[in-house]
């Protein structure tokens, strides 16, 4: 069972980070631009675009299978967009910490996914 608890914990953290990135995109969208219409469009549109990209290309059951480099680009756009959104709403320090955690989590997740399961 060596390695499996870490894998499960990292996958759970990945899911939480994905949701947090979408929330940050939403927050940023609702504060960007001028006027209620722009706020609504960006506040709903940015996370919706992130969900669409993730579901189509980066989710475990993605409709379109990209090579690893393509999946990492999509993850960088969505997760990095969330961290950038957090930065834009005035939380630069937290955005940097979030970005570092996202990079470490993604690196560990991809490493765990490419290793064979331990023999029990």
Q: Per-residue pLDDT tens for 77-110?
A: 999 999 999 999 999 999 999 999 999 999 998 8
Q: What is the pLDDT of residue 5?
A: 81
pLDDT at 70 over 80: yes
Percent of the chain scored above 70 by pLDDT? 92
Cβ within 8 Å of residue 28, ≥6 positions away: 42, 46, 84, 85, 86, 88, 89
* For range 59-63, the mean pLDDT: 89
The ranges assigned to domains in the chain are: 4-114
Report angle CA 42, 81, 103 to the nearest 5 degrees. 160
Per the rule left: phi > 0, alpha: psi between -120 and 50, beta: everything else, 35 is left
* For range 48-73, the mean pLDDT: 94
The answer to whether 58 and 75 are in contact (CB under 8 A) is yes
pLDDT at 54 over 60: yes
Percent of the chain scored above 90 by pLDDT? 76
pLDDT at 3 over 60: no
At residue 63, the 3 state secondary structure works out as coil
Q: What is the pLDDT of residue 66?
A: 93
What does residue 54 show for φ and ψ, rounded to 5 degrees? -65, -45
């Amino acid at each position: 069972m060596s390695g499996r608890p870490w894998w499960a914990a990292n996958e759970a953290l990945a899911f939480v980070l994905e949701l947090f990135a979408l929330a940050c995109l939403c927050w940023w969208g609702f504060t960007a631009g001028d006027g209620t219409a722009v706020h609504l469009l960006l506040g709903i549109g940015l996370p919706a675009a992130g969900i669409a990209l993730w579901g189509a290309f980066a989710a475990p059951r993605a409709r379109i299978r990209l090579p690893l480099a393509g999946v990492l680009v999509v993850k960088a756009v969505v997760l990095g967009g969330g961290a950038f959104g957090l930065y834009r709403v005035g939380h630069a320090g937290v955005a940097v910490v979030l970005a570092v955690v996202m990079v470490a989590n993604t690196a560990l997740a991809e490493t765990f996914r490419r290793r064979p399961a331990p023999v029990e």
